Amino acid sequence: MTNAPLMPMATAVWLVENTTLTFKQIANFCNLHEVEIQGIADGEVGKGIVGYNPIIAGQLTKEEIELSSKDNSRPLNLNNYNVDIKSTNNKTKKYVPLSKRQDKPDSALWLIRQYSNLKDSQIAKLVSVTKNSVVAIRNKSYWNYNSLNPKDPVAIGLITQKELQDAIEKAERRIKREKKLKEKEASNKNKN
C-alpha cells in the first residue's frame, strides 16, 4: 500500500486552489511530479478534474496544512486511519434524484476507463443503467457519448466505496479463475 492520498490528482487540484503550499510539498504528498503540479496551477494539466478535499476525506487536517504552509521545508503527512465500513444488507434501491440520474452514464464511463476488468453487467448493476447502455458507452456508440464526462460514482454518491471494492474483488476472482482454467486446459493439451 502506498502512502498517497485516495485520488492524488484531484487532491492536488484542491491543494493548489485552496492552500498556500509549495508545489514541492503538494507533489511529495500526492506522489506526483512538481511539473505536474505547476501544470495544474497554470491550468494546463487536470482540466475538468474536480478538486477532492482531503480534509473532508480525513486524509489531512487543517492544522497539518497550516503547519506546512508556515514552514516550506515541512512535508505534509497523510493521516493514518482505519475506516470502519459498515455492512448494511439493505437490498432495496434508494431514490436517485434527477440530477444524479444524469450522472449514471458518466459514472459508467469512469468505471470502464478506471476498472476495465469489470464486466459490463457488473458496471450496469453498480450504477443502475442497462447493460446495453454500458456496451454502447464502451463501444463509443452511446447516443450522447461526446458530451459524457467521466465521474467517480463514489465521489458523487451514486454508490458506496464498499460496493465498488466488492465488484473489483469479484472481477479479480473471476480473472484468476479464468486464468487457472486456461492453464488447466493448456496442460491437458500438452499431456495428449
Read off the pLDDT of each residue in 18-47 and give the average, rounded to a whole number.
Answer: 88
Does residue 102 form part of some domain? yes
Cα 86 to its chain centre, rounded Å, is: 20
On whether the CB atoms of residues 78 and 3 are closer than 8 A, the answer is yes
Q: Which residues contact 136 (CB under 8 A, 6 or more apart)?
A: 142, 143, 145
Which of 52, 70, 88 finishes a domain?
A: 70
120 in a structural domain: yes
> Are 74 and 68 within 8 A, CB to CB?
yes
82 belongs to a structural domain:
no
Of all residues in the chain, the percent with pLDDT exceeding 70 is: 91
Number of domains in the chain: 2
User: What pLDDT is attached to residue 1?
Assistant: 41
Residue 174 CA: distances (Å) to CA of 126, 131, 181: 17, 19, 10
Decide if 187 is inside a domain: yes
Residues 26, 64, single domain; the answer is yes
Q: Which of 54, 70, 86 is at the close of a domain?
A: 70
Q: What angle do CA 5, 168, 147 make, to 5 degrees?
A: 75
Expressed as residue numbers, the domain containing 137 is 98-191
- 113 and 184 belong to one structural domain: yes
Residues 108 and 63 in one domain: no
Give dist(CA 64, CA 78) in Å, integer.
9
42 and 109 part of one domain:
no
Report the pLDDT value the prediction gives residue 169, as an integer from 0 to 100. Answer: 94
Domain end position, chosen among 51, 70, 89: 70
pLDDT, position 187: 86
Is the pLDDT assigned to residue 87 strictly greater than 60? no
Same domain, 65 and 113: no
Same domain for 117 and 185: yes
The answer as to whether 32 is a domain residue is: yes
